[in-house]
Amino acid sequence: MLTLAPTLYIRTFPRIASWRRDLTLIVLGALFVAIFAQVKIPLPFTPIPLTGQTFAVLLVAAALGSKRGAASMAFYVALGAFGLPVFAGGASGTTYLWGATLGYLIGFILAASIVGLLAERGLERNVRTSIIPFLIGTVIIYVCGVIWLSILLGNFSKAIAAGLTPFLIGDFIKLIAAALILPAAWKLAK
C-alpha cells in the first residue's frame, strides 16, 4: 500500500520515473526535518534541546513509508555529519554528531523505518489507529537516545532525567498532532 507522499506525487507527476520520485521525496523529507530542527529551545538542565525534530520525523516516516522514510532520515544525518547546518539550531559536523544527541539521531532512522512500515499497512489513515505508529516511533527514539545518553553520562538514572522526563509532555503533544494531521491529509488527498 502506498503512503501519502508517493500517492500525491504520482497523481501530480504521473510520468516521472520512480527513482526520481523516490529521490525527490527522500531529499524533501530530510529538508523538512532540517527545518523543524531549527526550532530549538535549550534547556539548562540537559544537553538535549527541545526541538521540532521528532514531530517532523514522525510525519516524514508516515508520509514516505519504511524504506523512503529511513533513507530520508539517514540522508538527514549524513547532511549534518558532512557539515551542513541541519541539526538542532543549525549545528553540524561529526563532533556534534557524536555528542549527546547521537542516540536520538539513530532513533530517527529506526523510528522512520518502523513508523513507515506501519503507515504502509494503513494505520496512519484513521484517527483511531494513527496514534499507534507515532507512539511506537516516539518510544524507539527515546530508547535509542536514552541508551546513548546513559553511556555518555555513565548513569542510566541521569540519562532518564536528562533525556526523557523533560520531553514527555511536549512529545505527547507532537504525537497527538501527527496523529491528527495524517488522517486529515488523507481525507484532503481523496
pLDDT tens for residues 98-142? 999 999 999 999 999 999 999 999 888 888 888 999 999 999 999
> What whole-number distance in Å separates Cα of residue 24 and Cα of residue 181?
22
190 has a pLDDT exceeding 70: no
pLDDT band at residue 186 under the 50/70/90 scheme:
confident
Please tell me the distance from the alpha carbon of residue 55 to that of residue 22, in angstroms, as a whole number.
21
Rounded to an integer, the average pLDDT of 165-185 is 87
Identify the structural domains of the chain with CATH numbers, from first to last: 4-189 (1.10.1760.20)
Q: Give the residue-averaged pLDDT of 31-37.
A: 96
Does 69 have pLDDT greater than 80?
A: yes
Task: Give the model's pLDDT for residue 139.
Answer: 96
Q: Is the predicted pLDDT of residue 48 greater than 80, yes or no? A: yes
Q: Which residues of 65-87 are buried (b: 16+ CB within 10 A; e: fewer)?
A: bbebbbbbbbbbbebbbeeeebb
- pTM, entire model: 0.91
Q: What is the pLDDT of residue 140?
A: 98
What is the C-alpha to C-alpha distance for residues 170 and 54, in angstroms, rounded to an integer?
Answer: 10
Span of 9-23, 34-48, 112-126 with lowest mean pLDDT: 9-23
Who contacts 133 (Cβ-Cβ below 8 Å, separation ≥6)?
Answer: 58, 61, 62, 114, 115, 118, 119, 123, 124
Q: Say if residue 12's pLDDT is above 80.
A: no
pLDDT at 188: 74
